[in-house]
Structure 1
Amino acid sequence: MKKHGILNRELAGRFAKLGHTDQIVIADCGLPIPEGVPCIDLSYKLGEPGFLAILEAVLDDLVVESAALAEEIKTNNERLSRELMKLLPDISYVSHEEFKRMTKNAKFIIRTGEITPYANVILQCGVIFQ
């Protein structure tokens, strides 16, 4: 049995297969899941698990070199936007419509129970060496 990191066996297995520049999405419960992109659905009731809790667990387990957010988060979810600026490296912003198009390139999507607006992020994997 694992002692540290992500315990969810599906997530742990998928993380092990990621390489440099691969992308994953952490999503609220309302983001549409593109056809053909695997979804690991962690939601079990409205609001649970929360987006930030899942993001923090993922960031503890995965090397991330950049992140993409919907521009709309800045005005529609200011509290979360401020938190993400502290947590994420090299943030870029795109329209929510463009963000949804970009999710088609993700290796997989982690769906949370989050119910606040625009609580979605695309994470691009980095490498553990320089």
Structure 2
Amino acid sequence: MKKIGCLNSELSYVLAKLGHFDTLTIGDCGLPVPKGVQRIDLAVTYGVPSFDDVFSVVDKEAKFQKATIAVEAKTQNPEFYAKIHSWAKANHIEIAEVPHDELKAQSAKSVAVVRTGECHPYCNVILESNVSF
């Protein structure tokens, strides 16, 4: 049995398979999952697990070069917006801001969409994988 890191087998497998430029979407419990994209549903109830809980584990397991968020987060969820920007700056990660409808369309290209129990608006990110060397 795995002792550390991501214990969810589906998420662990997807993270291990990420190649350069692959994308993974982490979303709140309301983000629709496009047909044909793998859904990793971690939501148990409202708020559990939180976006932050899931994001923290994913960030420790993989390296990213770009994060895409909805431009609406700036006014509708400023705490999330500030956290993502702070994380990106600290890790030299490019941030792209697109309208929420565009983010939903882009999520269709992700290898998987991870559904959290997060229930704050616009708490969604598309992470683009980088190489670790």
TM-score normalised over the length of structure 2: 0.94
List structure 1 runs of 4+ shifted beyond 3 angstroms.
none
1:103 counterpart (90, 102, 107): 107
Partner of 1:94: 98
2:45 counterpart letter in structure 1 = K
Residues 52-98 of structure 1: CA distance to partner in whole angstroms, max 9, x if unpaired? 11111100111111100000000000111111111132111000011
Partner of 1:127: 131
Partner of 1:39: 39
Aligned Cα root-mean-square deviation (Å): 0.8
2:56 counterpart letter in structure 1 = E
Could you say what secondary structure the match of 1:34 adopts? coil
Does 1:61 pair with 2:65?
A: no
- Give 1:4 shift: 2.3
- Give 1:3 shift: 2.6
Q: Percent identity?
A: 41
| Residue segments in structure 1 that go unaligned for 5+ positions in a row | none
Partner of 1:113: 117
Could you say what secondary structure the match of 1:60 adopts? helix
TM-score normalised over the length of structure 1: 0.96
Counterpart Cα distance in 1 of 2:128 and 2:2: 25
Counterpart Cα distance in 2 of 1:67 and 1:114: 18
Note the 1:4-83 alignment, pairs <5 A: 4-83=4-83
Could you say what secondary structure the match of 1:3 adopts? coil
The count of aligned residue pairs is 129
Could you say what secondary structure the match of 1:122 adopts? strand
Counterpart Cα distance in 1 of 2:36 and 2:130: 24
